[in-house]
């Protein structure tokens, strides 16, 4: 019942904006050229002042009145005055203002659409907290798995490093050196994935925090303060990922003994 009530309230708020949007002229619609004379109506008289200030009248729109203020007189004597069309500079300014107005209206409509989706998705604040906790745990579980894979790569690196140091034959030393380089490339790639997942985790937290704040604001609850700039969380020594090892120096192959 609460959810239905909230949806009805939000719909009532959206209706005026939707009506306003319908009245907004289409920016792509072709506008009349102010340099073209309007269509003359039978029995009507058109008057204006020409460039010299002389009054000009005719039963068809005079050429001297194009792009100027003019009066339209009906057969019954009713007078309708038309202002001069805007200059090129004024028209450009009006167009910029119209585009700005449409952009502002779009922002309002997008916000109202998101608000409606928020009320449809969650019945109360507790559902937002539950969803946030579930998604955060899934992301942290994935990060923990990646850290485990990195630890395995680090152990493998230690083994390969030891093998490279112990290598005596040229072929064995070369093979150990290639294996080390491959391992170091894997470590670098693994760390990049971990960093990406950590950034995603912060984005997830910020998303649900903002949804909760907005939900409380819509429903009349006490809105949470706007989220501050995210700071890097402290990482304990136990969970801090180890840095990738520096490339190991591969020992030069032993020189063959000189023949006696």
CB atoms within 10 A of CB 205: 17
The 3-state secondary structure of 119-168 reads HHHCCCHHHHHHHHHHHHHHHHHHHHHHHHHHHHHHHHHHHHHHHHHHCC
What pLDDT score does 34 carry? Answer: 57
pLDDT at res. 6: 54
pLDDT of residue 176: 87
Say if residues 154 and 245 touch (Cβ distance below 8 Å): yes
| Phi-psi group of 122: left, alpha or beta (phi > 0 → left; psi -120 to 50 → alpha; rest → beta) | beta
Which helix (H) or strand (E) covers residue 104, if one does? helix 88-121
Q: Give the whole-angstrom CA distance, residue 115 versus residue 155.
A: 50
Q: Model's pTM, two decimal places?
A: 0.54
Mean pLDDT (10-residue bins), the chain, 260 residues: 54 53 51 71 95 94 92 95 90 94 96 94 95 97 97 94 87 89 95 97 96 93 54 43 49 45
8-state DSSP, 71: E
Token pair for 81:
């005055």
In this prediction, residue 239 carries a pLDDT of 43
């Amino acid at each position: 019942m609460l959810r239905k009530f909230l949806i009805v309230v939000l719909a009532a708020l959206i209706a005026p904006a939707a009506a306003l949007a319908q009245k907004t002229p289409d920016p792509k619609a072709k506008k009349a050229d102010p340099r073209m004379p309007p269509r003359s109506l039978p029995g009507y008289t058109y008057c204006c002042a020409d460039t010299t200030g002389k009054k000009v009248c005719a039963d068809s729109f005079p050429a001297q009145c194009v792009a100027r203020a003019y009066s339209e007189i009906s057969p019954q004597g009713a007078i309708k005055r038309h202002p001069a069309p805007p200059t090129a500079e004024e028209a450009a300014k009006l167009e910029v203002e119209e585009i700005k107005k449409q952009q502002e209206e779009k922002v309002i409509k997008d916000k109202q659409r998101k608000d409606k989706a928020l009320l449809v998705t969650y019945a109360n604040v507790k559902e937002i907290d539950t969803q946030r906790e579930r998604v955060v745990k899934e992301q942290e579980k994935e990060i923990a798995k990646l850290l485990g894979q990195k630890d395995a790569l680090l152990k493998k690196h230690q083994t390969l490093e030891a093998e490279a140091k112990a290598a005596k034959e040229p072929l064995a030393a070369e093979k150990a050196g290639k294996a080390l380089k491959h391992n170091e490339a894997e470590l670098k790639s693994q760390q990049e994935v971990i960093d990406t997942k950590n950034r995603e985790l912060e984005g997830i937290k910020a998303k649900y925090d903002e949804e909760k704040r907005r939900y409380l604001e819509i429903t009349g609850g006490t809105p949470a303060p706007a989220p501050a700039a995210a700071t890097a969380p402290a990482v304990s020594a136990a969970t801090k990922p180890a840095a990738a090892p520096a490339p190991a120096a591969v020992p030069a192959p032993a020189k063959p003994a000189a023949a006696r």
